[in-house]
Amino acid sequence: MRQIRIALLLLVLRFCAMSSSADSPAPPNIVILLADDLGYNDLSVYRNSTAGRNVQRPPTSQTPNIDKLAEDGMLFTDFYCGAAVCSPSRSALMTGRNATRVGIYNWVPSESPMHLRAGEITIAEILKRKNYRTGHFGKWHLTSEGTDQPIPNDQGFDYSFWVHNNALPSHRDPVNYIRNRKPAGNLKGYACDLVVDEAIAWLDENSASPFYINVWFNEAHLKVAAPPELARRHKYNQQYYGCIENMDQAVGRLMVYLKKNGLDDNTIVMFSSDNGSRWDYSNKPLRGEKCFNYEGGVRVPFIARWPGRIPAGSINSAPGSFTDILPTVAAFAGAAVPSDRVIDGNDLSSVFMGKRDAVKRKHPIFFYRYFHDPICMLRDGDWCLLGYDTPQKKAERLNEGALGKIKPWFFTPQHMEYLKTLTPRHFELYNLREDMGQNRDLSAKYPERVNDMKKMMLRLRSEMIREGGDWYAPGE
């Protein structure tokens, strides 16, 4: 009788364990698609959803596959990248921390000490703790070429097919890609296709486990190149619009693969751009362009899709940021967010799921860029404060200030000393809910709001530079 009771108990325990396992959903796969220098108005779904379609010379790029992500998921109207240029933007995405706080003050040039430090904790590293397989495919630009700084494989990725910065000599037949730690040699085809092909080949071997992959395109950064049949569809900016459409087709191939292999339903796909475009009209109706802390430089397309979980066809105007991606992904995966450092982002998982329209931010959305006025931008709710080094009423190409003839596309000890002292002295205030184009400066009308936001801006700037550190200090 005792043996029968034990056998029955074991059966009950086994049944309970199986029931518990069945009730626990499998952790979602994560795919982050990132374009390079893609404007808010370059995607047809954004152009058709905003006043951007009414500009004088709207882009003619058509992006049906990315549009389909929005049709099946959530389109954000007020989402921000991590910086108005590449490297700092990507560092914010990977760490959930403001780029200035992690010390990525500008784009990372060759043979520079500035890079994403090994001590930073990336999305890949927190997901590895939850037994995710991880891969990075495409542009990285968080490591300085010509150094022994950490590469993707050192920062949580099991596999990488990557390039330091731009595809050379262009998107067509690039020669500078690296597979893990070895040069991939001369490649035939377009960068977006090569990156997706590599990702699909890796998924063939690794999709049995939950996976996280970055698919970070070189398109649409210079030097652009597109298949002739796509380029000739456009009357102007042919290679630029053509390469965007080529990237869109690559996205479509990846989505077909996920669906065909039964991975579609439990995969969260996010699509965005690392910063705004440098091309005329591509950021409309927003003010400014790449490099500038106006909306056109830092507000980017952002789409999230997860069938059955993220409401299909939804549009959300809650302010979001690249710093929010790490805590949001962690929440979906049941992973812990680092508790030993400041995380500037918020968990937006409830917003993604349509349970809330917005979340109260722990930290406002903030940008500091020492090379272009406005040097600071702070968004708090619907309000945006711009902080300038010199009085300025419109976007200028470059305000070099005290740097004189030192070029912006380097990072030197002079740059480091300059950015430590450069503080905004002139301010503009905008209500972005009523004036997304930043046409009406309200600073004279709301001086108390300017003063409150100015204090917050100056505090964050000082705090983050102190934490970001001096790359030329002894022992750094």
Residuewise pLDDT in 10s, the chain (476 residues): 545 554 444 454 454 444 444 456 799 999 999 999 999 999 999 998 866 667 778 999 999 999 999 999 999 999 999 999 999 999 999 999 999 999 999 999 999 999 999 999 999 999 999 999 999 999 999 999 999 999 999 999 999 999 999 999 999 999 999 999 999 999 999 999 999 999 999 999 999 999 999 999 999 999 999 999 999 999 999 999 999 999 999 999 999 999 999 999 999 999 999 999 999 999 999 999 999 999 999 999 999 999 999 999 999 999 999 999 999 999 999 999 999 999 999 999 999 999 998 899 989 999 999 988 999 999 999 999 999 998 865 444 444 455 555 666 789 999 999 999 999 999 999 999 999 999 999 999 999 999 999 999 999 999 999 999 999 998 77
Nearest to 170 by CA among 195, 156, 189, 154: 189
Task: Evaluate whether the domain defined by 365-468 bears CATH number 3.90.1640.10.
Answer: no
Q: What's the CA gap between 292 and 131, in Å, rounded?
A: 39
Of 85, 154, 143, the C-alpha closest to 119 is 154
What distances in angstroms separate CA 216 from CA 80, 190, 233, 351, one per listed residue?
A: 17, 14, 25, 24
- Write the DSSP string, 165-190: SS-SS-SBS-S--EETTEE--S--SB
Superfamily of domain 25-352, CATH level 4: Alkaline Phosphatase, subunit A (3.40.720.10)
| Helix, strand, or coil (residue 303) | strand
SS3 299: strand
- Backbone conformation region of residue 288, classed left if phi is above 0, alpha if psi is from -120 to 50, else beta: left
What pLDDT score was predicted for residue 19? 42
Strand partners, 133: 211
Round to whole Å and give the CA distance between 366 and 377. Answer: 6
Phi, psi of 162 (to 5 degrees): -150, 170
Token pair 């109207």 is found at 77
How is the chain split into domains, by residue range? 25-352, 365-468
Bond before 28 cis per omega within 30 degrees: no
Query: 245, exposed or middle or buried, with CB in 10 Å at 0-12, 13-18, 19+?
Result: buried
Partners of 380 in beta bridges: 383
Instruction: Round to whole Å and give the CA distance between 363 and 107.
Output: 24
Task: Decide: 225 and 243 in contact? Cβ < 8 Å.
Answer: yes
Q: Of 23, 26, 215, whose CA–CA distance to 131 is shortest? A: 26
- CA distance to 38, 232, 394, per residue, from 333 (Å): 29, 44, 43
User: Are 243 and 226 contacting, i.e. CB atoms less than 8 angstroms apart?
Assistant: yes
